[in-house]
Amino acid sequence: MKLAGSMCALVTPFRNGVVDAAALEQLIEFQIENGTTGLIPCGTTGESATLSHEEHHHVVDLTVKFARKRAPVIAGTGSNSTSEAISLTQAARNSGADAALLITPYYIKPTQDGLFAHHMKIADAVDIPQVLYNVPSRTGISISPETVARLATHPNIVAIKEASGSIDYVSQLRNMSEITILSGNDNLTLPLMSLGAKGVISVLANVAPRLNAGMIAAVERNDWETARQIHCRTFPLVEALFCETNPIPVKAALALMGKISGEIRLPMTPMSQKNLPRIERELAILGIISR
């Protein structure tokens, strides 16, 4: 399995308070038809923190079913509880997921030794490729490049989704380890690929999968000018998609596109009327919706 290219951090569509399986199937078809190379259910963008365990398993099951092996499924299975993360990761493996995405334990703020022990225990317990996920703005703690390099010696720990927003972090990590680096921030995908990142786990791909895949394909054929043009063209939409807490804006965008109901779970609230026209304008500029 190759972890590279434009991979989509899928939203979880809801309708009347429950997972909307029909909408999820359509979203997955939209992704695969437009060049997405990996599907990530139950991540931050998928509102994993508000899903029950039953719903979490259901969304992973559905994603595996709808993907039909046309793109790898990298299931979000992280938790601030090591035992819970093991349970979610084992369930994802049993569902047929191709890999697991494991967020750095949030709120607890463990030491680097604690982070190392947490990820090693999961990697020892579940024989599935595992992607570390460093996003200190969400978790309150960053996994250091040195700790990542130590973890990368485990055969099940194969990549990191890097969302610290630091170019220095990626430069340091690249000097320490050959682990596969995936951008976790759409605004930094192109810069990180210049440092050797292999792709992105993307929010933007939910609404502009073909453009996102096209940028990465341009890098892969060493056409940096085309990649830069696509980056600059999509950058205002990327900014708009993070003008409120993710996934509020991307769900609003998908609703404007007619792909989901736009329903979001508390404590998330719907997109503010102040910012909604901004999303609509940027989608229209790119031709994703009609004006």
Positions marked catalytic: 133, 161
> How many other CB atoms sit within 10 Å of the CB of residue 222?
7
Q: What is the DSSP string of the chain?
A: ----EEEEE----EETTEE-HHHHHHHHHHHHHTT--EEE-SSTTTTGGGS-HHHHHHHHHHHHHHHTTSS-BEEE---SSHHHHHHHHHHHHHHT-SEEEEEPPPSS---HHHHHHHHHHHHHH--S-EEEEE-HHHHS----HHHHHHHTTSTTEEEEEE-S--HHHHHHHHHH---EEEES-GGGHHHHHHTT--EEEESGGGT-HHHHHHHHHHHHTT-HHHHHHHHHHHHHHHHHTTSSSTTHHHHHHHHHTTSS-----TTS-PPPTTTHHHHHHHHHHTTSS--
